[in-house]
């Protein structure tokens, strides 16, 4: 299995559809315990801020060396020069995907791409459009953004595409419009996946089957899997619902 994963080229590893598990754990021990219950390593693992800041870059190297595909989700948002230099270091880790905030502006996104291209690796650069935890009310009242969530998401997606990003992180609810505006090859990775209404921090949500219908390339699922009594069973159900007959 490990050899098989290593042999996959970038196209196969990143352009096919899939389910990414957000391993939002505080440390390596809990992450490894969680991953160990899965029968194989043909899994796309998301390492986010909690785990990365808890363990440092070595956690990325370790999980990668075990054969897992990695989405390093650090959502960079700073001055162009700082982001470029940070991306140079991220590029060395050789992850499959990484993130920036489109709200950082076109110059920042171009700088991120430049930083990423300094390494021989081929990491996909994805721009967060509007966080799936934000609602239209929050945009209007807290952030003073008067346009609809959809308008903002599409506008940010076009900016990202024009700045060299390979795709976006968006809600499944905005995928169709973003694909219409940016083309089908522009990758859409969508968190905010839920089977039922919840009272957690996600706002613009959809089921795995809805995300499939709406055109997501990858869905990112955290707590519905990580907090489940039987994570493997929930992951398998989500995989079947999302991939269906693809
Ligand atoms: O636990 P849950 O399924 O809500 O996890 C979703 C994951 O997707 C989290 O790790 C979160 O950081 C990430 N994410 C998100 N919204 C974005 C970008 C990333 O929820 N716009």
Alpha helices for the chain (secondary structure H) = 2-7, 10-15, 28-36, 49-55, 58-65, 80-93, 106-116, 136-141, 149-162, 172-182, 208-214, 223-226, 231-243
The set of catalytic residues is 75
What would the mean pLDDT of 123-135 be, rounded to a whole number? Answer: 93
Q: Which two tokens stand for residue 227?
A: 């907090």
Residues 170-180 pLDDT 10s: 999 999 999 99
Distance 190 CA to ligand 1 centre (A): 8
DSSP structure string for 12-43: HHHHS-EEEEE---SSHHHHHHHHHTSS-S--
192: left (phi over 0), alpha (psi -120 to 50) or beta: left
Distance 192 CA to ligand 1 centre (A): 6
Confidence check: pLDDT of 239 > 70 = yes
Distance 220 CA to ligand 1 centre (A): 7
pTM above 0.85, yes or no: yes
Percent of the chain past pLDDT 90, that is, above it, reads 82
Per-residue confidence (pLDDT) for residue 197, from 0 to 100: 67
Per-residue confidence (pLDDT) for residue 205, from 0 to 100: 84
Residues 99-128 pLDDT 10s: 999 999 999 999 999 999 998 768 999 999
Residue nearest to atom 13 of ligand 1 (CA): 191
Alpha helices for 71-143 (secondary structure H) = 80-93, 106-116, 136-141
Helix axes 80-93, 106-116, angle to 10 degrees: 30
Residue nearest to atom 5 of ligand 1 (CA): 222
Kindly indicate the confidence band of residue 44, based on its pLDDT and cuts at 50, 70 and 90. Answer: very high
Confidence check: pLDDT of 11 > 70 = no
Distance 191 CA to ligand 1 centre (A): 5
Residue nearest to atom 15 of ligand 1 (CA): 191
- Provide residues with CB under 6 Å of ligand 1: 22, 24, 46, 48, 73, 128, 131-132, 169, 191-192, 202, 220-224
Give which of 34, 52, 86 is closest to 226, Cα–Cα.
34
232: left (phi over 0), alpha (psi -120 to 50) or beta: alpha
Q: Which two tokens stand for residue 12?
A: 């196969």
Cα separation, 18 vs 21, in Å, equals 10
């Amino acid at each position: 299995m490990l050899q098989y994963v290593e042999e996959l080229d970038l196209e196969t590893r990143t352009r096919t559809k899939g389910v990414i598990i957000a391993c939002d754990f505080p440390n390596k021990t809990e992450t490894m315990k969680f991953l160990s219950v899965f029968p194989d390593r043909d899994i796309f693992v998301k390492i986010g801020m909690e785990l990365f800041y808890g363990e440092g870059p070595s956690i990325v190297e370790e999980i990668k060396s075990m054969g897992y595909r990695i989405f390093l989700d650090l959502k960079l948002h700073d001055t162009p020069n700082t982001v470029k230099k940070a991306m140079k270091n991220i590029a060395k880790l050789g992850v499959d995907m990484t993130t920036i905030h489109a709200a950082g502006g076109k110059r920042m996104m171009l700088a991120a791409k430049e930083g990423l291209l300094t390494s021989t690796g081929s990491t996909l650069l994805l721009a967060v459009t509007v966080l799936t935890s934000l609602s239209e009310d929050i945009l209007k009242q807290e952030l003073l953004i008067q346009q609809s969530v959809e308008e903002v998401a599409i506008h940010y997606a076009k900016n990202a595409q024009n700045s060299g990003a390979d795709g976006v992180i968006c809600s499944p609810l905005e995928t169709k419009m973003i694909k219409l505006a940016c083309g089908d090859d522009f990758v859409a990775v969508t968190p905010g996946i839920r089977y039922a209404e919840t009272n957690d921090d996600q706002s613009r949500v959809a089921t795995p089957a809805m995300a499939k219908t709406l055109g997501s390339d990858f869905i990112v699922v955290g707590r519905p899997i990580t907090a489940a009594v039987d994570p493997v069973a929930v992951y398998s159900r989500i995989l079947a619902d999302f991939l269906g007959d693809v």
